[in-house]
Chain A
Amino acid sequence: MFEFVSEFLPWIIQGFTLTVEITLFGIFLGLGIGILLAIGDLYGGKLVKGFIAIYVEFFRGSPLFIQLFLAYYTVPALLHIPLDPYITAFLVFGLNSAGYQKGYIKGAMETIYEDQMAAGLSTGMSRAQTLRHVIIPQALRILIPSWTNEFCSLTKSSSVVAYVGLFDLVGAGREIIGITYDVLAVWLVIGAIYLAWITGFAKIMDIIYEKKKIPGVELLMQ
């Protein structure tokens, strides 16, 4: 039943590689933008906050597939520049994930914000220095569990890239089925790869979380 695995292994590996790339790139880009959005939402003026609210609602409120579709077919037409399909997918995933991660990051920052900011300022540090050396390092530690959830969900939603013709894990599965017609076996294998990758990654994040936990401080946020 599973003989196809060895035959189509190069496809499966190629698809898996793209899935991992998109997810990792998306989550780190999302983290970077998410931190900026969280800071903007905490400190910014009305205009900045308004922009961030629209940003978040757009990326959280519309299907990822449609966001990807828009980026593929309308942005190049409007800007009259061809977009590399891979880079477009990376960017869409990063921007989309930032919409979710902003919420987690802001929440984490708010739980540590008031007193730690006052303490930082009282030592003569600027707001930016306190954010960088005090608030963000603590926020990132608190963030790890929700960040792991975001990773799991992003990995699974990454399969929408198959619709715009990219060859990810689901894309590979569809191609293989096109040849073998063995729907059940192929999806079982592809599903198992997702499961193994996500479980393994989440386990690593759990270990990092335990290691990075501030001694003596129990979970600050649940």
Chain B
Amino acid sequence: MGKQEKEKNRTVKTMTDVVMEARNVYKTYGKLEAVKGVSLQIRKGDIKLIFGPSGSGKSTFLRCLAMLTMPDKGEVYLGEQCLTKPGVDLNKARARIGFVFQHIYLFRHLTALGNVELALREVLKLSKQEARERALAALKEVKVADCINRYPAQMSGGQAQRVGIARAIARNPDIILLDEPTSALDPELTGEVIDSLRDLAKEGTTMLIVSHEMPFAREVAEEMIFYDEGAIVETGIPSHFFNSPNSDRAKKFMNRIINRTTRE
């Protein structure tokens, strides 16, 4: 295959490039409609960013995609496999999805290395040696190689979240879902996590990120998705949102966010 052809293959995305898709997904908690008929497609290499007011259901939607929360209605596809059909081996599917939590959720009784190794041993069934090498490589990639023997409570929030990212990427998942990876951290610690995400973006990692880090969004996101009251309100490239969003809700929200950022 010539170089040009390769380029072309990369840019022309076909249906088979779809890594993950939500079709009309619903999720209700009691009276709260967190997700109301959301559809979304993510192709290989995409970096999409979901943003919107807190409590609007973004996290729930992300958890539905990873089947950590079961959608009430609608379909979720991982590649060509429908995950919402009965009888699907969800554990196998989740092994191909990386997930980074807002509150990090490292395994508290394991060191950084142990956190990353566990699934490599138990899910991918790698040998001790192989698992260790892969875990170390992942930890090095997010630049926490110096605290591999520390327990979660002995790390800073930024270090812990980077270990969380290492745990998500070590299995080489098809896609990584990140649920507000920086919002629980002290402001001075968000930078190091953002740097790690930027590195992943450069490598062409497929990512769907819930985040309000606007400078980061502007830099790496190919598409931004404004989500409010359980639904996607508006989508567009970052400059669209920074310059002139269509909906009033997005306008208001962008104003608030930009004001807040400049005040800081």
Contacts and interface: CB of A to CB of B under 8 A. Distances in A.
B68 A121 contact: yes
B123 interface: yes
A36 B153 CA distance: 29
Contact of A124 (B92, B108, B151, B154): B92
| 10 tightest Cβ-Cβ pairs between the two chains A and B | A216-B153, A124-B95, A123-B119, A122-B99, A119-B105, A124-B123, A215-B151, A216-B154, A126-B91, A115-B105
A133 B115 CA distance: 11
A140 to B, nearest CB: 10
Nearest to A141: B109
Contacts of A112: 108
A115 B101 CA distance: 9
Contacts of B118: 123, 125, 133-134
Interface string A123-155: 111100100011001100100000000000000
B252 to A, nearest CB: 32
A208 interface: no
Interface string B147-179: 000011110000000000001100100000000
Given A124-B95, A214-B153, A116 B108 contact: yes
Contacts of A118: 68, 101, 105
B107 interface: yes
Given A129-B122, A133-B122, A217-B153, A119 B171 contact: no
A74 to B, nearest CB: 44
Contacts of A137: 109
Contact of B107 (A134, A141, A215): A134
Contact of B151 (A116, A121, A216): A216
